[in-house]
Chain A
Amino acid sequence: LAKTTQPISMDSYEGQEVNITCSHNNIATNDYITWYQQFPSQGPRFIIQGYKTKVTNEVASLFIPADRKSSTLSLPRVSLSDTAVYYCLVGYEMGGGGNKLTFGTGTQLKVEL
């Protein structure tokens, strides 16, 4: 499993763009990069997944350079409601056909007025 490194915390203000970078130097050829968001007292929620270049959905964008050793989650114009923990996951371990995702401690994003 590729180990990931991301900042423990980030602060921002409403209306700003926030970029959270995740390092995953030993990513395997077949690994996808997946980001989850977790609000206090809730379970994590899948927000975006990518393999290379750029992926965009209604919530965020994911930028992946050619070497795939890092990725950047971009949240456009954040609001107070984007305050959450963001987890970067890379690949998963196969076990009997199921996933074995490895969650790190994530990045605590705090958005203020």
Chain B
Amino acid sequence: NAGVTQTPKFQVLKTGQSMTLQCAQDMNHNSMYWYRQDPGMGLRLIYYSASEGTTDKGEVPNGYNVSRLNKREFSLRLESAAPSQTSVYFCASSEISDEREFFGPGTRLTVL
């Protein structure tokens, strides 16, 4: 099992460009999450999907949109990238109501 996979691993954008971060899990988990981690800080929840067909805002949703494409895949879209969105983005998955989340390797995004 690959666990949680994320693409791309690295990305550089110019201010105003858009892009979609992809995430997939093969553990048949119901819940999936997107976090961002800024240097020297803990993770902050952007959006999450408790189950297929549902999405909810986390702590820092502004500037992002998500799509739960199916049970396996959860994508994060930046419509108009800003330098403040420079960060490392982690996707995670878990069973519903289980604090044991499994994280992907992350996407390092730089917005110039």
Contact = CB atoms under 8 A, between A and B. Distances in A.
B56 A98 contact: yes
B50 interface: yes
Nearest to A100: B45
Interface residues of A, number: 24
B53 to A, nearest CB: 11
Contact of A99 (B42, B44, B98): B98
Contacts of A100: 45, 48, 58-59
Interface SS majority for chain A: loop
Interface string A85-113: 00101001011111111011110000000
Given A41-B106, A98-B31, A103 B100 contact: no
A43 B105 contact: yes
B40 A97 contact: no
A21 to B, nearest CB: 18
Contacts of B97: 94, 97-99
Contact of A45 (B31, B41, B43, B103): B103
A43 B106 contact: yes
Interface in B24-83: 31, 33, 35, 40-45, 48-51, 54, 56, 58-59
Interface string A68-86: 0000000000000000000
B35 to A, nearest CB: 8
A13 interface: no
Contacts of B51: 97-98
Nearest to B42: A103
Interface in A35-49: 41-46, 49
Contacts of A103: 35, 42-44
B103 A44 contact: yes
Interface of A: 32, 34, 41-46, 49, 87, 89, 92, 94-101, 103-106
